[in-house]
Amino acid sequence: MLVTGGAGFVGSHTCKALWRAGYLPITYDNLSRGHAHAVRWGPLVKGEVGDRAALVRAIEDFEIGAVIHFAGYAYVAESMARPDLYFRNNFIDPLSLLDAMAETGVRDIIFSSTCATYGIPLALPIREDHPQAPISPYGESKRMFEQAVRWYGEPRGLRWASLRYFNAAGADPDGELAENHEPETHLIPLAIRAALRRDRALTVFGTDYPTPDGTAVRDFVHVCDLADAHVRALGYLAGGGDSAAFNLGTGHGHSVREIIAAVERVTGRTVPVVDAERRPGDPPVLVADASRIRAACGWEPTRSSLDFIIETALTGLEVPAHAAHRHVEPAHLAPVPVEAMAPLIAAAPASPPILAASQAVALDAQGPVASGLARLE
């Protein structure tokens, strides 16, 4: 299983879910915004998503059967200031991934999309057939790649599921992974930091929205529920399900003020707040209708209660950064067929090696590379 962007927030949690489901996730990431220490359940191949040749090598060397594509930028405000970054990274470069899949005969792709493709909703909750009219380059770049996946699928037999997240939040309940963005822009970790550290107030962007308390309303989904949806979507496609877009949300919205109150309740501390003007690109309300994926995949957001999201996010702030992975020099590498992986995986500790994209033959049955693979249950 090739997981582009598997060193990021949702990507790393999904790799853990894949591992628990019996898959071996191969993370492909340039680490520009991901973290090597979060890749613990399979090898890490360091490469660019726009490098078709490197992607082909990784797909062939690991005999990849399907792709989950996370690698993308996700800051609305940044996209408003630097649309060039977003159209290149979220749309242009990933076309090489689709080309690599076509060249190697890989048919199935799960795409990490977003509710930002909808723009300002015309009706709530938002269904998948709601018009897509993004109001930010971030949302537009994701919408464009959704369309590229759909059009590639027609002549090339590509099967796809576009998972439109609402607001990813929380962290691994086992304490092995956390939300670790730089800069951090997500509401819940910022509110927790403001409550615990008091080094800066939480900025509330917009207090005059047409909502009950004047602040924006969002549908928060636990990251582990999102990870579970990716595993289920893989099974859905493998079982012959039709290509489709799926919303991932709870169907219940919480305002910024409600989030602040919940953080104060869970932490027992006050969140200092500074009110500010609205940010460009932020709709007033985004709440999902996720009935389609419930019916198609049996998915339920069982871990997405607000208190559990905040409790796990709070625990996640205490997750230490693990030691950086050891780089493996080319001299230590030797091709090993995929059928030889099982005994290596069974005996290995938790931290995988980092491999340059040109070194994606990854395993040496006698040497140090093998010791870096995570065990499959």
Distance of alpha carbon 196 from alpha carbon 214, whole angstroms: 25
Residue pair 331/360 in contact (Cβ under 8 Å)? The answer is no
Distant-in-sequence contacts of 150-155, Cβ < 8 A, 24+ apart: 150/243, 152/98, 152/102, 153/243
Which residues does residue 288 pair with via DSSP β-bridges, in sequence order?
126
Cα angle 295, 299, 301; round to 5: 130
Dig out the tokens for 330 from the structure. 């080319």
- Tokens 């909808």 belong to residue: 118
Sequence-distant (6+) residues with CB within 8 A of 255 are 211, 212, 213, 215, 216, 217
CA 77 to chain centre: 19
CA 200 to chain centre: 28
By residue count, the chain amounts to 377
209 is catalytic: no
Among 138, 152, 165, 236, which one carries the catalytic annotation? Answer: 138
- Tokens 């520009």 belong to residue: 32
Pairing type for strands 217-218 and 254-255 reads: antiparallel
Distances (CA, A) of 120 to 4, 104, 126, 136, 158: 29, 39, 10, 11, 30
Distance of alpha carbon 233 from alpha carbon 306, whole angstroms: 25
Distance of alpha carbon 296 from alpha carbon 371, whole angstroms: 39
User: Catalytic positions, please?
Assistant: 138
